[in-house]
């Protein structure tokens, strides 16, 4: 049989999508990439910023205020209170020392007074190597000698010629003084002081320091070697002021500061006395009286006490910073014409 002819259906081929249908996908992918790059860039930038901030915080950590706890604040306050109490104790100690409360204060050899008895006064008469004739004049007039000097000490008054040592230690000048002292027993030799005109301000420190170490007295007196004393009148003055601590007695004066080098009384440190160039009130160097606690203050602080060109200015400068009572007694103005003065210029 003949087969019937069949018609074969043609094979259907898949149709490709048109090109314009894939454009949105490409754009979407492009913008996704941009977004990813943007986010990644921001994250990287934030990381760098954090590193910079961390380094800045670490660098400035020491400059930031410290936050204290309550315990820390109490500890700080306790330390400040302790510092305040230490400062107060130091001030009290300085005051006690200035008033003579010293531990293990030893007396040097050469003191002839009874250590258990307080003297009325120690009088130091300045002298020099070439002043033997003047010393003999004093010994024959107002100043006792020999047994009379010892009897005066029994009354509570010690008198000594005050002198330092020669620049050439142990030379004939020193030997002559030692020989004279062996005979008269009326010298206070300042072993640590060099006897010279330019060293007179330092001599005051050495005298008061040595005297207060050697003798326990109410008063310590410095007298120039051109001064005659009314000894009984001076003793009466001491008796009247016995028991007065912190007394700085003398013929009080002031005056112009000499700033021109080469002139008499020239003061090298004139600029320290202000534009007016005037000295503060101080006792005349002819005769200076200090109570015991003031002399002890000089003894304790002698290493740090400033000296000026003149001894009376130096002593006055030491007193001006203390609780010292400045007493202007006209009877101690040795060049005055008062009839009741206790000293006179030779």
Distance CA 226, CA 74 (A): 66
For residue 111, pLDDT over 60 is answered with: no
pLDDT at position 108 is 40
pLDDT at position 11 is 55
Q: Would you say 304 and 223 are in contact if contact means Cβ atoms under 8 Å apart?
A: no
pLDDT at position 79 is 73
Contacts of 264 (CB under 8 A, 6+ apart): 258
Q: Over the stretch 75-87, which tens digit does the pLDDT of each residue have? A: 666 677 777 778 7
Distance CA 48, CA 295 (A): 75
Contacts of 4 (CB under 8 A, 6+ apart): none
Question: How far, in Å, are 16, 115, 183, 228 from residue 164 at the CA level?
Answer: 131, 25, 18, 22
Distance CA 182, CA 319 (A): 36
Q: Is 197 helix (H, G, I), strand (E, B) or coil?
A: helix
Share the mean pLDDT of the chain: 83
pLDDT at position 103 is 42
Q: Are strands 325-328 and 282-291 parallel, antiparallel or unpaired?
A: unpaired
Joined together, the tokens standing for residue 287 give: 């005769």
Helix (H), strand (E) at residue 24: helix 23-59
Q: Where are the beta strands (DSSP E) in the chain?
A: 119-126, 157-165, 187-194, 217-223, 227-229, 247-253, 282-291, 325-328, 343-345
pLDDT at position 211 is 97
pTM of the model: 0.68
Contacts of 142 (CB under 8 A, 6+ apart): 228, 229, 230, 231
Q: Is 180 helix (H, G, I), strand (E, B) or coil?
A: helix
């Amino acid at each position: 049989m003949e087969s019937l002819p069949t018609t074969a259906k043609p094979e259907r081929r898949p149709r490709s999508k048109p090109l314009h249908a894939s454009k949105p996908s490409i754009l979407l992918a492009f913008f996704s990439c941009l977004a990813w790059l943007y986010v990644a860039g921001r994250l990287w930038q934030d990381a760098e910023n954090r590193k910079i901030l961390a380094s800045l915080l670490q660098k400035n950590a020491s400059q930031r205020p410290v936050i204290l706890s309550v315990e820390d604040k109490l500890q700080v306050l306790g330390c400040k209170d302790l510092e305040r109490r230490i400062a107060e104790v130091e001030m009290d100690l300085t005051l006690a020392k200035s008033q003579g409360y010293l531990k293990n204060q030893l007396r040097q050899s050469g003191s002839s007074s009874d250590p258990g008895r307080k003297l009325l006064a120690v009088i130091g008469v300045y002298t020099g190597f070439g002043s033997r004739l003047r010393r003999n004049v004093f010994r024959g007039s107002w100043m006792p000698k020999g047994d009379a000097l010892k009897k005066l000490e029994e009354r509570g008054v010690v008198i000594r010629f005050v002198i330092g040592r020669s620049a050439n230690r142990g030379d004939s000048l020193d030997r002559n003084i030692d020989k004279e002292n062996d005979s008269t027993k009326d010298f206070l030799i300042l072993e640590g002081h060099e006897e010279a005109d330019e060293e007179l301000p330092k001599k005051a420190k050495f005298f008061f320091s040595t005297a207060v170490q050697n003798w326990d007295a109410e008063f310590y007196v410095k007298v120039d070697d051109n001064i005659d004393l009314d000894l009984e009148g001076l003793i009466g003055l001491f008796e009247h002021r016995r028991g007065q601590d912190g007394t700085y007695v003398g013929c009080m004066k002031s005056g112009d500061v000499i700033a021109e080098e080469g002139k008499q009384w020239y003061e090298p440190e004139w600029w320290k006395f202000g534009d007016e160039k005037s000295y503060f009130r101080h006792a005349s160097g002819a005769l200076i009286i200090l109570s015991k606690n003031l002399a002890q203050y000089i003894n304790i602080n002698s290493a740090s006490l400033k000296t000026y060109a003149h001894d009376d200015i130096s002593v006055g400068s030491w007193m001006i910073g203390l609780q010292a009572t400045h007493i202007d007694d006209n009877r101690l103005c040795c060049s005055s014409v008062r009839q009741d003065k206790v000293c006179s210029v030779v």
